[in-house]
């Protein structure tokens, strides 16, 4: 019996709500601690490919939203009537103490994405082998991609304070 994926998901996990997003995609809202179980469930369902992990800073709601985009390339019908090729898994994390279990156990590919999010958003991923810096050369108190990071002030402090080279003599 291949009940549509949305119903099966709803039945196996309690505190999640599933609705269909644009162009047949499924959007699954998940609480922080049950991200990994949902990902493993979807992986067994055939969504073997994690396209990306990204992060949105909802500063007014005081939350960082992590978005996992999964897709499946097998031919047979997976989800509901026309089969949803992609699934969004979203989870909200408090801005102050942002920490989520790492998805590397399920999808190896998540490693660089999580490193980048850690560097630019300051979200800590438990169980991540190396959360070392990836792009940035310098240290930042407030991770640069957060909305409360004031770039103009930072540029004034760091780059404009560098004196131009005066011509001696």
Partner 1 sequence: MDRNELMKWIKAPAKMAHKYSLNAVYFCTGCGIIEVPPTITSRWDAERFGVVPSATPRHANLFLITGYVSVKTLRAIIRTYEQMPEPKYTVGFGSCTINGGMYWDSYNTIKRLDKYIPIDGYIAGCMPRPEAIFVAVTHLWTLIDKDMADGYKRYRKNYAAYRANQEMVLGKLEWPPLFPKETGTGTADGAAMAMDVASHTTGRTG
Give the Cα separation of 4 and 131 in Å (integer): 38
Give the Cα separation of 27 and 87 in Å (integer): 6
The least CB distance from residue 55 to partner 1, in Å, is 17
Give the Cα separation of 151 and 65 in Å (integer): 22
The least CB distance from residue 66 to partner 1, in Å, is 22
The least CB distance from residue 84 to partner 1, in Å, is 37
Rg of the chain in Å (alpha carbons): 20
Binding interface with partner 1 (CB under 8 A): 133, 135-141, 144, 149, 151-152, 154-155, 157-168
Closer CB to partner 1, 49 or 154, in the complex: 154
The answer to whether 35 and 103 are in contact (CB under 8 A) is: yes
Give the Cα separation of 105 and 93 in Å (integer): 20
Give the Cα separation of 133 and 150 in Å (integer): 21
Closer CB to partner 1, 22 or 153, in the complex: 153
The least CB distance from residue 109 to partner 1, in Å, is 23
Closer CB to partner 1, 47 or 118, in the complex: 118
β-partners of residue 66 are 55, 91
Closer CB to partner 1, 60 or 167, in the complex: 167
Helix (H, G, I), strand (E, B) or coil at 58: strand
The least CB distance from residue 111 to partner 1, in Å, is 20
Closer CB to partner 1, 60 or 139, in the complex: 139
Give the Cα separation of 136 and 148 in Å (integer): 18
């Amino acid at each position: 019996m291949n009940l549509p994926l949305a119903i099966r998901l709803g039945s196996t996990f309690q505190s999640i709500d599933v609705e269909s997003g644009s162009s047949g995609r499924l959007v699954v809202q998940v609480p922080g601690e049950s991200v990994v179980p949902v990902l493993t469930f979807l992986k067994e369902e055939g969504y073997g490919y994690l396209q990306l992990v990204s992060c949105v800073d909802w500063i007014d709601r005081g939350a960082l939203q992590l978005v996992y985009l999964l897709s499946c390339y097998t031919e047979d019908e997976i989800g509901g009537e026309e089969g949803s090729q992609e699934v969004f898994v979203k989870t909200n994390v408090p801005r102050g103490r942002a920490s989520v279990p790492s998805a590397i156990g399920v999808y190896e590919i998540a490693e660089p994405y999580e490193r980048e999010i850690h560097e630019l958003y300051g979200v800590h991923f438990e169980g991540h082998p190396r959360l070392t810096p990836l792009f940035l050369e310098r240290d930042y108190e407030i991770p640069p991609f957060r909305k409360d990071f004031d770039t103009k002030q930072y540029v004034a402090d760091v780059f404009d304070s560098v004196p131009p080279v005066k011509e001696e003599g």
